[in-house]
Structure 1
Amino acid sequence: MLRAVKKSHVFLLIKLTLAVILVMVLLNSGQLDFRSILIVFEKLDLFVPALVCLFLGIVISGFRWWLLLRATDNNIPLGTVLNLQLIGSFFSTWLPGAAGGDAVRGVQVFRLLKNGRSTALLSIVADRVFAMIGLISVAVLVSFFLPMAISPDASIYEYVGLIQTLAFVLVGAIILALVGIYSALRFSFIDYLPVKIRHYLHPFGVTLLMYLRAWPTLLICWAVSVLATGIVIIGMVTIASIFSYAANPQVTAIAGIFGNLFSVIPITPGGVGVGESVFSKVCVELAARTAPFATIYFSFRVGMLIVNIPGMIVSLFYSTARHREKADASI
């Protein structure tokens, strides 16, 4: 146990070091300017609506998770799910450690339920998958309008090709998963596996079957994912409009999607430095000019910190309520 804790601390230290290095590189290369971030607080007529969009993205994502929970017969009230979503988003945004938002959501769901815990925990994984599907879907939609908004010298085909590749991989993965599930059920492949492996795979099989039976709900989750991602990107584009050197909205949208995609990769805590680097690179290549574009993405990150303050408040009240329940139960 002690070794595991020490190992997690080492990995966290490495990630923090990489984040600092990436931010320093961005600062030294002129791609990031901390001082110009303060301008967003002078343009509240744009920054406040952007914050509303970012907050709505969190809430809409919570609604998607609620739908996924219901699809597995875990009927947790919508208000409770939204509270847990706010708490999870707060922990993901504010804390650099291993106790991420998904882990916090998982712990709270485990405490709430007596039955169906495994399917409820797997709904968090499904929620992450749909978040990725939403990002790629919005990228595909924006790519149709991209050629009309960029310089003729820009590397458009490279990014359109990458978006198409991501879409094909996504569709291929879904088809492959469906064929695999059908084959496993049709030919009883699971029966040939050792008992221990079957024991671990059983919750996955049950959850997948429940989702397949609730396929209309999955289609709704896809639409909700597109809406959640789209409104967050609108918020990012609104933040970008505050800066005079910002690229066109279409370019900013594509750059924001790629920045968010790469931020998910656990290279640094919260993708700090990674998202900014990718966002800046995409803006430079598609806008065919240089500017401190990473500042825009970092300002978006500041906005996310602000809109997750309600999650901190909910977390405090939620913890207090849990302590009171324990105290009442011990009496």
Structure 2
Amino acid sequence: MNDAAASRNATASRPPGTAGNAGPSPTRRALGWVLRLGGIALAALLLYLTISRTDADLSGVLRSASPWPLLIALALLGATHFLGAYRWIALLRVQGVHIGYGLSLKLTIVGHFFCSVVPGAASGDLLKMGYVLKYSQGRGTEAVLSIIIDRILGLAGLIVIGTAASAYMLVRHRALVFAQPLLALTIVIIFAGAVGLAVLYAVLLFRAQLMRWRPCAALTGWAARRLPTAIVAIFSKLATGLDLYRAQPIALLNALGISVVVHFILGVALFCIGRACLEEHMAFIHYLLSTQISNVSALIPLTPGGIGMRDAVTAALFTAFDATPANVVGSIPVINSLLTLCWAAVGAAILTLSPHFRNRQL
């Protein structure tokens, strides 16, 4: 019995993701590498098509580009990670989990690196989930919930900015919207996302009333009787965590405000790149709308960090907005991706050089 207890204690003391000596099977490892390499290959292909189909002169544009706007854009892209780290800390505090800003920033930037090499935005979130469990003080489910809410609020910020920019386009450039199927479809998706988020918030706000509604109560009771006790306990913790957010709407609004600022900054960064590349025709609103629409397309988990997909969509929108001269149409989005990868390289450096990460401890 003592040996069994010691074994349980040893297992519990291991960092997340190191339980036992069993690792991923060779088949899973091979499949993981196929997905990674396939996503990277697709991103490279899309980047090549973006450059070739727009007659982009990437090297020439970079040689003639003004360096200061590019440096400002690089700094702005980095600022979004600093703001994102602060937003996550604020959401964790609502759940009674406290970590330092340095740790949050480190996990955020390393998570950005993983998003840049593994298709799908959730890859960085999984890293954060694994490590934050060590600091959750028995509130692991609530800590994981904070990451999910953080991701939802990030999407909400994108939709808020995208909705405002889309409304402007419909008022000022309606003919252009209806002449470009891609632009029109994406605006519809943004508006649908806005409705979906409003419904989600209404469910959070009126969850107690919904649970007293007879069909919901019957469904909840049926699930509680059928599901394993551990799963029911997890859902119960999640519901309690959601109630904490519902009880502190100011914290949610502040986090949403940070998300809006983040996505606005991304639009400013793209605008700076455009000015560095001496683009002459597009207004700031076109850059802002292009950023939100391309980031919506990047949510599809086909390429790492949406690289390639985001560039292709941005180039298509720049063509619709008559970006001038023509050789910057494909160059600006690719330069934006290169600057984004600079911060991914920072995350790779932290992952490689930090002994805490090498030991899977922070």
TM-score between both structures, scaled by the size of structure 1: 0.84
Is 159-168 or 268-277 further displaced after alignment?
159-168
The aligned counterpart of 1:195 is 227
The 3 A distance-change label for structure 1 pair 149 and 55 is farther
The aligned counterpart of 1:2 is 26
Say if 2:196 is the partner of 1:169. yes
1:268 is aligned, of 292, 296, 303, to: 303
Q: Secondary structure, in 3 states, of the residue corresponding to 2:54? A: coil
Whichever residue aligns with residue 104 of structure 1, its letter is: L
The aligned counterpart of 1:256 is 291
Query: How far did 1:178 drift?
Result: 4.5
Query: How far did 1:195 drift?
Result: 3.1
Give the conservation status (yes or no) of the 8 Å contact 2:163–2:194.
Answer: yes
Query: How far did 1:17 drift?
Result: 3.6
Is 172-181 or 66-75 further displaced after alignment?
172-181
Question: In structure 2, what is the Cα distance between the partners aligned to 1:307 and 1:264?
Answer: 19
Question: In structure 1, what is the Cα distance between the partners aligned to 2:63 and 2:237?
Answer: 50
Is 285-294 or 21-30 further displaced after alignment?
285-294
Give the conservation status (yes or no) of the 8 Å contact 2:323–2:329.
Answer: no
Whichever residue aligns with residue 155 of structure 1, its letter is: V
Whichever residue aligns with residue 268 of structure 1, its letter is: T
The aligned counterpart of 1:58 is 81
The 3 A distance-change label for structure 1 pair 185 and 309 is farther
Taking the TM superposition and a 5 Å limit, the aligned residue runs for 1:39-188 are 39=63, 42-93=65-116, 95-96=117-118, 100-143=123-166, 145-146=168-169, 154-155=176-177, 158=184, 162-176=189-203, 178-179=205-206, 182-184=209-211, 187=214, 188=217
Question: In structure 2, what is the Cα distance between the partners aligned to 1:6 and 1:314?
Answer: 26
- The structure whose Rg is larger is 2
Give the conservation status (yes or no) of the 8 Å contact 2:311–2:337.
Answer: no
Give the conservation status (yes or no) of the 8 Å contact 2:286–2:321.
Answer: yes
- 1:170-192 alpha-carbon deviations (Å, 9 max, x no partner): 32333345456642366544222
The 3 A distance-change label for structure 1 pair 206 and 5 is farther
The 3 A distance-change label for structure 1 pair 149 and 295 is farther
Whichever residue aligns with residue 195 of structure 1, its letter is: L
Is 103-112 or 313-322 further displaced after alignment?
313-322
Unaligned runs of 5+ residues in structure 1 are 327-331
Q: Secondary structure, in 3 states, of the residue corresponding to 1:272? A: coil
The aligned counterpart of 1:295 is 331
Give the conservation status (yes or no) of the 8 Å contact 1:154–1:287.
Answer: no
- 1:109-141 alpha-carbon deviations (Å, 9 max, x no partner): 123334111211221111111111111111223
The 3 A distance-change label for structure 1 pair 315 and 321 is closer
Q: How many residues align?
A: 323
Question: In structure 2, what is the Cα distance between the partners aligned to 1:105 and 1:205?
Answer: 21
Q: Secondary structure, in 3 states, of the residue corresponding to 1:155? A: helix
TM-score between both structures, scaled by the size of structure 2: 0.77
1:209 is aligned, of 231, 240, 243, to: 243
Whichever residue aligns with residue 268 of structure 2, its letter is: I
Query: How far did 1:200 drift?
Result: 4.5
Question: In structure 2, what is the Cα distance between the partners aligned to 1:324 and 1:203?
Answer: 27
The 3 A distance-change label for structure 1 pair 305 and 112 is same
Q: CA RMSD in A?
A: 3.1
Question: In structure 1, what is the Cα distance between the partners aligned to 2:192 and 2:119?
Answer: 33
Question: In structure 2, what is the Cα distance between the partners aligned to 1:183 and 1:31?
Answer: 56
Give the conservation status (yes or no) of the 8 Å contact 2:56–2:330.
Answer: yes
Whichever residue aligns with residue 220 of structure 2, its letter is: I
The aligned counterpart of 2:312 is 277
Query: How far did 1:70 drift?
Result: 0.8
Whichever residue aligns with residue 130 of structure 1, its letter is: L
- 1:256-313 alpha-carbon deviations (Å, 9 max, x no partner): 1111121121011221211011112222224488935232111111111223444344
Unaligned runs of 5+ residues in structure 2 are 1-24
The 3 A distance-change label for structure 1 pair 171 and 322 is same
Question: In structure 2, what is the Cα distance between the partners aligned to 1:146 and 1:243?
Answer: 24
Residue identity (%): 20
